[in-house]
A and B are shown apart, each in its own frame.
Chain A
Amino acid sequence: MEKIKKEWFSNVKGDILAGIVVALALIPEAIAFSIIAGVDPMVGLYASFCIAVIIAFVGGRPGMISAATGAMALLMVPLVKEHGLNYLLAATILTGIIQVLFGVFKIAKLMKFIPRAVMIGFVNSLAILIFLAQVPHFIGISSMTYIFVGITLVIVYVLPRFIKSIPAPLIAIVVLTSVAIYSNFDLRTVGDLGAITQSLPAFFIPNVPFNFETLQIILPYSIALAIVGLLESLLTSSIVDDMTDTESKKNREARGQGIANVVTGFFGGMAGCAMIGQSVINVKSGGRGRLSTLIAGLFLMFLIIVLGGVVVQIPMAVLVGIMIMVSIETFDWNSFSYLKNAPKTDAVVMLVTVAIVVATHDLSIGVIAGVILSAIFFVAKISKIKLTKQETMQNITFFVEGQLFFASVEGFLDGCDVSIQHKNIIIDFSNAHIWDDSAVGAIDKVVIKYRENHNNVSIKNLNAASKKIVDKLAVFNNPNGKLSAH
């Protein structure tokens, strides 16, 4: 009870005001993302309404805004194009189920395995894709389109200096839509790309055959959507955590995202996730609790029902201008100094992630490729093994430094000079760690070879874990031992 009071009612005025501001800024984005996905604007608007309202109750990060997003919309393009809206809704439901499972199995912990470079690549490639998606809507259409896009950008960047309480994108929309209506310019509008129905979403089961073939179609999309959705949501919740200096439950958020997506799919909305931009606006505008998210969703729906007839007349050029601003805001401009200062392998991972995403138009493929590449670089880095030789009157000691495992075995074998004969040899592992069977096999090979050359060999200073694995798998102490046992 105390917790409910704290999460809902400790900041009522701030939450309500912030929620309203967010709703106003959210409408153009929800419409624009629907257009990116290739669906009716209502799909994004219903999604934003459902997701925001549900997450307000079940999410793990109060004050964070979740709705229809660009990252998710971009993944849906081929599915919608080839199979249509109903398959998208089915995929949305499946995405939600996968996300709930991720949350239940505490997969949020896996986030720590995604390197910084990949996250930065994710954010940058998202910005680039959002920008590219605007191009067909303003390049080569008419000079009036360019003018409107330009004016939108001017309003959006200059006005906040003077008017802080009303979001500039909203002012741009109101002003330019009025201009477009009264002056009768020949401009494409939202209505040209879809209809706005001024009613609440209704429950319906997506019209898809309930069979394995459908599952085959939607599963890859749902997995990609689930991964991207959780990735962006967990990043956003870290940012909101930092801004509010509070902590949040990541796995609860994952479950919440899943529940929201499942319900949204049944009410005609596309899958969504948390939004960095809107969450930052929410916190900056004074929103801290779950109430702000709820108000954002409710007010958005209220505006659509009341003002839907005007919304269809919004010129596409204005939405394009707003989306260009979103892509500029999303891009991490610090990346240029990051590329200069970060280790070369990190920079390569970041660039490769961006390149793959832009080439495939699929954020999930880029992220997975980035993680794999990063892992390969990591293995390469720690497979550098060092051997120092120390010769005294009685013995020759080889000091091994580094991690001995399958990838560093070759370096180890090269470093041990097996042509030595009739000597006392000590191999000292105090600065090394033995990881696997290949490593033990390499040690065996070296020891047996030395003994064949009439040397006395002893192994020293294995740490506890290394000793355990050597005792278990090594054959050099076993008179009948065969090297082929490895």
Chain B
Amino acid sequence: MYNNILLAVDGSEHSIRAAKETVKIASVSKGSTVKIVYVVDFSKARTEVLHAHNSEGLGVARKKRLIPIEEILESNKINFSIQLLHGEPGPTIVDYANKGSYDIVIIGSRGLNSLQEMVLGSVSHKVVKRVVCPVLIVK
């Protein structure tokens, strides 16, 4: 039974697909809970602050990205809560996952092509390497 599920999202298409897979896994057992973790990337902080009207607008814009994912979980009556973290996505997700006692981590693969993956690395690969519990990478 996967009762304690960690869903790592970044607001992208892959996150939405990951949310749908999360529903399939969470629906198997009653009483399963999902923790959605959204990491605000350090490298994007500068651009996002510059383009936001003020700190409230920034928070609203970020929450907006999570709405499609929240809707997917809500409409399938899955228990969930949201945690916003700041940092580099890979290490931050790994630390958070390993600190809590999760049965599985679900994350979308970023869909980078092989050249980009060579140069930029991949968050999902970092997570699968260093997280102690099982990981589901959704393509």
Contact = CB atoms under 8 A, between A and B. Distances in A.
Contact of A235 (B40, B42, B50, B58): B50
Contacts of A123: 50
Contacts of B88: 284
Given A161-B119, A284-B88, A242 B45 contact: yes
Contacts of B49: 235, 238-239, 242
B45 A120 contact: no
Interface string A108-119: 000010001001
A120 B49 CA distance: 10
Nearest to B40: A242
Interface in B60-109: 84, 86, 88
Interface residues of B, number: 18
A381 to B, nearest CB: 16
A338 B51 contact: yes
Nearest to A247: B55
B86 A242 contact: yes
B11 to A, nearest CB: 16
A334 interface: yes
A241 interface: yes
Contacts of A283: 42
B47 interface: yes
User: Which secondary structure dominates chain A's binding surface?
Assistant: helix
B113 interface: no
A332 B86 contact: no
B131 to A, nearest CB: 20
Contact of A243 (B53, B54, B86): B86
Nearest to B121: A161
A332 B53 contact: no
B50 A332 contact: yes
A276 B45 CA distance: 11
Interface of B: 40, 42, 45-55, 58, 84, 86, 88, 119
Given A239-B50, A242-B58, A332-B47, 16 more contacts: A116-B52, A119-B50, A120-B51, A161-B119, A235-B50, A238-B49, A239-B45, A241-B55, A242-B86, A244-B86, A245-B84, A245-B86, A280-B42, A280-B46, A284-B88, A332-B50
